[in-house]
Amino acid sequence: FAVPNVWRDRDETKLYARTVTSSSSAQLPKDAAEALAHGTARAEEAIDMAVAKSLHRSGRFYGLTLLKDAVSPKMVQLMRADSLKLHSQGRLTPSGDPDEPQLSEQYKKYLGSLPVLTILSPQQAADDGLLGLAYGGAFLSGLCAQLSELAGKRLVPGTLQLALYDGEGVAYQIHEDYVPKADYDPENLPEHHRESYKRRVTAILYLQDDWSEELGGAFRAHAVRPKTDTPKPEDVIEVMPEGGSLILFRSDMPHEVLPTYGQRFALSMWCHAA
Ligand SMILES: O=C(O)CCC(=O)C(=O)O
Ligand SMILES: [Fe+2]
């Protein structure tokens, strides 16, 4: 993701973090159109030049950026309610394929639990009356558009994913979201993975009401893939999945989710190279 030289400013800040203030959309949306419009407006408010620069700065953590209160507590609550609704309807599955059966108790007992997920679009969420997820999807799509504008290099909204780590120690081992095209056979992957080579920026919005350290589930960023099970402290940064927090990073950064002992929802967007 080439950026103008002026941004290569040797900023070694490990984690750029800030709290987003003021919301143009403090009111709950009254209909689907308003949910989409408010989500887009919030992206324009939250993603400014400082965020775009942070995402492209040099340094070891691939532009890792944390925006707290990226979304208001009210909207987080609405998104969480929508997410719980989809979960109760059995729409979240390990591969994201709605027809795939849920994990059996036997599988969980022997192989452990997995995160469950669904792939959605802001418009589909709006059509289904899920105003919270319509807002969240529009926010994350708007974020890609906003970064595209500020970076002068085209990015488009890619895959939007809702995932649930439903306690029981569910984790996601170290990986990169970007996978070079030569490294996989898309035919054998679920549809939403087939375009992983286009991923440039990962944005993850957390939807918990409140979260505490005993519940685990930290997002752990790695400056380098560790050679042993215990990475050096200077090589990792952990972020708690607090509701309303948004993390952004370049999609080739190694990262993982530590074992989770509470219900942990995350709405993720991969901004693709256009
Ligand atoms: O939920 C998170 O914090 C990260 C999830 C993740 O890495 C992924 O879905 O690729
Ligand atoms: Fe990931």
How far, in Å, is the centroid of ligand 1 from the Cα of 208? 15
The number of domains in the chain is 1
Closest CA to 46 of 252, 208, 248, 218: 248
Strand order in the sheet with 255-260: 170-175, 255-260, 219-222, 236-239
Position 95 scores a pLDDT of 84
Residue identifier of the C-alpha nearest atom 10 of ligand 1: 177
Position 26 scores a pLDDT of 67
Residue identifier of the C-alpha nearest atom 8 of ligand 1: 177
Residue identifier of the C-alpha nearest atom 7 of ligand 1: 256
Q: Which residues line ligand 1 (CB under 6 A)?
A: 163, 172, 177, 204, 219, 255, 257, 266, 268
Position 5 scores a pLDDT of 42
Q: What is the CATH number of the domain that holds 259?
A: 2.60.120.620
Closest CA to 261 of 206, 220, 212, 221: 212
d(Cα 101, Cα 266) in Å, to the nearest integer? 22
Position 197 scores a pLDDT of 92
How far, in Å, is the centroid of ligand 1 from the Cα of 113? 15
- pLDDT tens digits, the chain, 274 residues: what are they? 444 444 444 555 778 888 898 665 568 999 999 999 999 999 999 999 999 999 988 888 999 999 999 999 999 999 999 999 999 999 999 888 878 777 777 777 777 778 999 999 999 999 999 999 999 999 999 999 999 999 877 999 999 999 999 998 999 999 999 988 887 777 777 777 788 899 999 999 999 988 999 999 999 999 999 988 889 988 999 999 999 999 999 999 999 999 999 999 999 999 999 8
Which structure tokens are listed for 89? Answer: 């309807």
Closest CA to 158 of 193, 127, 205: 193
Q: What is the residue-wise DSSP string for 51-105?
A: HHHHHT--STTTT-EEEETSS-HHHHHHHHHHHHHHHHTT--BSSS-TTSPPPPH
Residue identifier of the C-alpha nearest atom 4 of ligand 1: 257
Position 100 scores a pLDDT of 79
**CB contact at 8 A, 39 and 137:** yes
Position 11 scores a pLDDT of 53
How far, in Å, is the centroid of ligand 1 from the Cα of 5? 30
Position 64 scores a pLDDT of 95
Q: Which domain holds residue 217?
A: 5-273
